[in-house]
Amino acid sequence: MDEYYMRQALALAERGLGRTRPNPMVGAVIVRDNTVVGQGWHKKAGTPHAEIHALTQAGDLARGATLYVTLEPCSHYGRTGPCADAVIQAGIKKVVVAMVDPNPLVAGKGLEKLRAAGIEVVEGILAGQAAGLNEVFIKWVTTGMPFGILKTAMTLDGKIATVSGQSQWITGPPARQFVHTLRDRYDGILVGIGTVLADDPALTARLPQATQNPVRIVADSLARTPLTAKVVNDEAATIVAVLPEAPPERREALQKKGVDVVVVPRGKTGIDLKSLFQILGKRGISSILIEGGPAVNQSALAANVVDKVYWFIAPKIIGGTSAPGPVGGEGISCLDAAILLKNTAIQQVGEDVLVSGYIV
């Protein structure tokens, strides 16, 4: 029964997908006499947590009941009060949690407070599913680094564009729609200056249900982003990352257009993406979708900032020795040095195939 109710709590938590950042997604279910008397989920950072919604709905029926929650109730003051205190005051008799909160501000303190108040606590119910749901939050809160997601699309013969540079569209409409759901889910979206100059993309989440856009991040060593570019001329936020030697007048022109210009140290082939991710993580950006070309993709992989991959394969053949592939650079000379994926999944998206997985 613990797993049964925890699955309900996990399903509730998932309703907050892309809306709670940088907070975790959390779901809560209150059960009394084998009947759900209250439930809730965290809807947005700064608003009441899942436990509070569930306790409010349960009212007096919470006294003596069991609370199922996907993440340890918090024990500290942030933008809201400690959920552990509210659980104790409501008279909950037993708390079942999927996983301990990895946030150092909590990290078991909430469960300690519950036990000290005489509440029975059970841990680890469907912990793996709970951790998968909050993979972004776990990476960011434990390392300070955003969770990196590399998305790319290629033909059957491994090309992302023709020899003339034409790349729209490699994949079909369903795959492009899927990408917009990713943009709606994650905090930021990273491209290189080459993509901006070639395609002038908007990099927004164009979905009927989308309520927010990712922060656009352009890796632009010398601040060449045109003042006429779409990423400069709409309401969505844009960060342009430049090297110290970027011309001051170009930086200032972008800033006057409302662009946030960030100076980043030089790496081996341009902007040091690891340093950029560290800067963005400190700003509360917990996840970054990488939609770059071969150079940015290679730099991201080399910098070890990629955690997850979404790789579309379209049933098309382009050909051409000089037609670009999804990852640039010099490549490897030995297969033992290849980057591997684990926990891979394959699904059909329209006529295209999507391979997803995690960097080993």
Please give the positions annotated as active site: 51
Q: Which residues contact 110 (CB under 8 A, 6 or more apart)?
A: 72, 73, 74, 75, 82, 83, 84, 101
74 is in an annotated binding site: yes
CB count, 10 Å around CB of 301?
19
287 is in an annotated binding site: no
299 is in an annotated binding site: yes
For tokens 């990713």, what's the residue?
A: 182
Classify residue 342 by burial, with Cβ atoms within 10 Å: 0-12, 13-18, 19+: exposed
Q: Are 242 and 236 in contact (CB under 8 A)?
A: no
Q: Are 40 and 87 in contact (CB under 8 A)?
A: no
CA distance 144 to 256: 30
Radius of gyration, alpha carbons of the chain:
23
199 is in an annotated binding site: yes
195 is in an annotated binding site: yes
Closest CA relative to residue 20, chosen from 190, 152, 134: 134
297 is in an annotated binding site: yes
CA distance 30 to 149: 35
83 is in an annotated binding site: yes
CA distance 322 to 344: 30
CA distance 260 to 204: 17
For tokens 């908007």, what's the residue?
A: 202
Classify residue 80 by burial, with Cβ atoms within 10 Å: 0-12, 13-18, 19+: middle
295 is in an annotated binding site: yes
Q: Are 52 and 79 in contact (CB under 8 A)?
A: no
32 is in an annotated binding site: no
> Which amino acid would we find at residue 135?
E
49 is in an annotated binding site: yes
67 is in an annotated binding site: no
293 is in an annotated binding site: yes
- Helices 273-282 and 294-302 cross at an angle (nearest 10°) of 80
Q: Summarize the annotated binding site as residue ranges.
A: 49, 74, 83, 153, 167, 169, 183, 195, 199, 203, 206, 221, 291, 293-299
Q: Summarize the annotated binding site for substrate as residue ranges.
A: 167, 183, 203, 206, 291
Q: Summarize the annotated binding site for NADP(+) as residue ranges.
A: 153, 169, 195, 199, 221, 293-299
Q: Summarize the annotated binding site for Zn(2+) as residue ranges.
A: 49, 74, 83
